[in-house]
Amino acid sequence: MKRKLKIRQKILLYILSVAVLLYIVSVGYILWQSRNSTYSNAIEKTQLTARVAAKEVGAIFEKELAIVRTLSQAFSIYQTMPHEQWKKLFLNMYIPVLKENPDIYSIWDSWEYKSFVPGHDKDYGRFVITTWREGNEIKWLYDERSMSGDPPIYGKYKKLGQEAIWEPYVDQVTKGKSDVKLMITYDSPIFINGSFSGIIASDVSLESLQEMIGKIKPVKGSYAYLVSNEGIIAAHPSKDFLNKKVEEALKNDNQKEQIVERVAKGEEFYYIKTDEAGKQHLICHSPIFAGKVKTPWSLALSAPLDVITAGAKKTLYVSLLVSLVGLLLMVLVLLYVSNNLTKPIMHITNILKRMAKGEIFEELKVELNTGDEIEEMALALNTTIDGIGHKTSFANEIGKGNYASYLELLSDKDVLGKSLIHMRDSLKKAAEEEEKRKVEDQKRSWANEGYAKFGEILRQNNNDLQILCDSVIAALVKYVGTNQGGIFLWNDDDKANQYFELVSAYAWDRKKYLTKQIEKGEGLVGACAMEKETIFMTDVPDDYVNITSGLGDANPRCVILVPLKHEDNVLGVLEMASFKVLEKFEIEFIEKIAESIASTILSVKINARTKMLLEQSQMQAEEMKAQEEEMRQNMEELQATQEEVERKSAEIEGFINSIHSSAYVLEYDLNGNIISVNDAFIQFVGVPREQIIGSHHADNLELTEEMKKEYGSFWDNLKAGISKKVRSTINWKGKQSHLLETYIPIKDSDGRVYKIMKLAFEDTEFK
């Protein structure tokens, strides 16, 4: 038999045991999470320190790159100068830079012969200007290099063709000494017309950068070092590591963490290593980016793990002590609370049993002043009793059809109240939609009757355009309930004078025969036709149109203009004005009717044009009979003429062939370039046609000083249409010849000279 327990016993047995268990688990989890969070924060703080230091190094790299970048960009301004001039100019630019930047050991440039020396077609060979400091003196040297091929390092960055930071290297002056001095080179390429033409570079000592990195010690026992893109240690507190590769100096770390590969990719990462003394260190790597360099370096920050996590351990011990004290207090409080819960709960339980049977009376309300949740429970019970009473009254009102009745919700989570309000709103919406459906049915019925009515009007009047327009506008004004309207049709009978013409107007049951013409694009009618869209205005200008009635003149409240278009072709415009503002369904009805009107108008016009063309074809048939005899006579004359033309063409062709066989014939454009040459001249000079075509008239012509002065006026006269006969001496491939030449300007059908023909004969009388 299952044993029943009292509430106090259950509290002590279940709640207390579960609460203690949950408390222990929760506090343990919180302490564990707190330790992990503090641990993660320590790592993030170290990473942030490394990131800030990396940005500072990147700013130094960017500063050095900016110098060579500025110098390389300056070349775009001076490249058009003579080489000797801009060589001197660049030297004068380098010397102040060296004086103002003591860390820069030298500045040098490299210029590819292929880009600057005509006829040099090899991909190697260059000249170099080097400026360097030697003690307190600035020296410079100009020399040639790579004449038999580019060295590997220069070739590597030449192929890269981008800003670059070279791998660190030992200064030649300190090589072999115990105190090694590392250098670094920054370069910026020079491109001319998209082709690599050289670089400008600076050689900078890493001493100041090493000194800066040596000062990075955020916590006791920490230090920073710098790794190049290819894994060379460029800065380190211990000089034994300088210029060493990571694969050698940090062999085990590199094998586990792939340091070199991740540095080359520009990754930010960290790892934990254990030194020989068993002490753990956190190593954080942060990439260094500068300018357009695609080979990032990395700054590494090493910090003792026990130092950066010391705060986390202290917090853990304090939290554990506080948790034990809290657990003891919780047990004491639960014992006290259990004794104060049972009595009021039993009283409330009895009331709930009565409510479960459907009793809702004012006498069920409870009065408790315990000042705790039990009192709140009693108040909630009282509120529930009041709420159920109000909801009962509200439901009764809805049942009577009173959808305006109001119900105040107990809270935002009052599900029953919201359901009743939703029921009221649904019933109200259903009633409104039923009313709206009736209105829509009336509108739809009105539109369908209108479509049928105007379909009949259009069928009955599709033989006469004027009657059609009169009938349609009168019926449309009446049916829609507007006050006046008009139809403007596009009149293109006279191709030189096309316009919109008011062909039919209707106002207050009286047709007004008005004469009105509107140009395309003029006013609202022209704008409606141009845009091919409906124009609807409710703010009508005072001077636009007046509606006249028995009570006088007044301004309409709305004006609508609808294009009469068929397959995007506007045939006219329908304009209507009204004292009432048209509704959307009326506008849509007018637009649909306008489409039918346009289709019918087009049909009427086509029928009229067909009738006219039929009459014209009958008249033309009679004229054709009269012209047939005349055509026969003309054909006989044309045949005789054609035979004469063929005879003369044969004579001309023979004449041209005789010219080409006896003379040298060349054709020039108006700039003096050869565009055509006959076979006789090619055989005469012994030069292939493709080498002659495109060459200039003066290229192979021997000119005296006097002939050079008159050469320009000679061509001006030819362009003006004046023929010239001259004696000249030409020289092709070392062969000198003397010619008698006749220059003939060739004109087009408008009388303008468009090319020059030259007929030349060998001058056998030349002395």
**Confidence category of residue 369, pLDDT binned at 50, 70, 90:** confident
Element holding 226 (H helix, E strand)? strand 223-227
182 in Cβ contact with 168 (< 8 Å): yes
Average pLDDT over residues 284-296: 91
Q: Distance between CA 171 and CA 527 in Å, rounded?
A: 80
**Confidence category of residue 89, pLDDT binned at 50, 70, 90:** confident
598 in Cβ contact with 612 (< 8 Å): no
Indicate the pairing of strand 137-145 with strand 126-134. antiparallel
pLDDT surpasses 70 at 536: yes
Amino acid at 123: D
Q: Distance between CA 432 and CA 727 in Å, rounded?
A: 107
Amino acid at 672: G
Predicted confidence at residue 3, as pLDDT, reads 61
Could you tell me which residue, 463 or 552, shows the higher pLDDT? 463
In the chain, the largest separation of any two C-alpha atoms, in whole Å, equals 150
Q: How far is CA 122 from CA 79, 117, 118, 151, 158, in A?
A: 21, 11, 11, 15, 14
Number of H helices and number of E strands within the chain? Answer: 20, 27
Bridge partner list, 696: 673
Average pLDDT over residues 89-105: 82
Could you tell me which residue, 102 or 508, shows the higher pLDDT? 102
561 in Cβ contact with 574 (< 8 Å): yes
pLDDT surpasses 60 at 677: yes
738 in Cβ contact with 727 (< 8 Å): yes
Highest-pLDDT range among 18-27, 619-628, 698-707: 698-707
Average pLDDT over residues 597-618: 82
Q: Distance between CA 229 and CA 265 in Å, rounded?
A: 8
Query: How many CB atoms are closer than 10 A to CB 560?
Result: 24
Average pLDDT over residues 10-32: 69
Q: Distance between CA 114 and CA 116 in Å, rounded?
A: 6
Element holding 506 (H helix, E strand)? strand 499-507
Query: How many CB atoms are closer than 10 A to CB 559?
Result: 22
Q: Distance between CA 422 and CA 420 in Å, rounded?
A: 5
pLDDT surpasses 80 at 218: yes
CA torsion sign for 112, 118, 121, 122 is negative
Could you tell me which residue, 466 or 370, shows the higher pLDDT? 466
Chain centroid to Cα 59, Å, comes to: 31
Detail the DSSP E strand segments found in 327-479. Answer: none
Indicate the pairing of strand 104-112 with strand 484-491. unpaired
Query: How many CB atoms are closer than 10 A to CB 468?
Result: 23
The contacts of residue 626 (CB under 8 Å, 6+ apart) are none
Q: Distance between CA 499 and CA 492 in Å, rounded?
A: 7
Closest CA to 446 of 586, 583, 596, 587: 586
Q: Provide the token pair at 422.
A: 């939703």
pLDDT surpasses 60 at 620: yes
pLDDT digits (tens, 9 = 90+) for 242-251: 889 999 989 9
The contacts of residue 340 (CB under 8 Å, 6+ apart) are 370, 372, 374
Go through the domains of the chain in sequence order and give each one's CATH number. Answer: 209-307 (3.30.450.20), 345-442 (no CATH), 461-613 (3.30.450.40), 663-762 (3.30.450.20)
Average pLDDT over residues 334-354: 70
Percent of the chain with pLDDT over 90: 13
Q: Distance between CA 116 and CA 472 in Å, rounded?
A: 83
Count, residues in the chain = 767
Tokens 């009052």, located at residue: 414
Amino acid at 281: H
Predicted confidence at residue 78, as pLDDT, reads 58
Predicted confidence at residue 267, as pLDDT, reads 93
454 in Cβ contact with 593 (< 8 Å): yes
Tell me the angle at which helices 16-78 and 207-214 cross, rounded to the nearest 10 degrees.
Answer: 170
Element holding 316 (H helix, E strand)? helix 310-339
Tokens 């503002």, located at residue: 581
**Confidence category of residue 259, pLDDT binned at 50, 70, 90:** very high
Q: Provide the token pair at 502.
A: 């008011």
308 in Cβ contact with 341 (< 8 Å): no
Predicted confidence at residue 461, as pLDDT, reads 80
Tell me the angle at which helices 465-480 and 415-460 cross, rounded to the nearest 10 degrees.
Answer: 150
**Confidence category of residue 509, pLDDT binned at 50, 70, 90:** very low
The chain-wide mean pLDDT, for the chain, equals 81
Bridge partner list, 554: 547
Q: Provide the token pair at 590.
A: 């007018």
Model pTM score: 0.42
Give the DSSP letter of residue 15: I
Closest CA to 190 of 286, 109, 296: 109
762 in Cβ contact with 737 (< 8 Å): yes
Predicted confidence at residue 560, as pLDDT, reads 92
Chain centroid to Cα 43, Å, comes to: 39
pLDDT surpasses 50 at 1: no
Predicted confidence at residue 179, as pLDDT, reads 63
Q: Distance between CA 415 and CA 708 in Å, rounded?
A: 107
pLDDT surpasses 70 at 409: yes
pLDDT surpasses 60 at 512: no
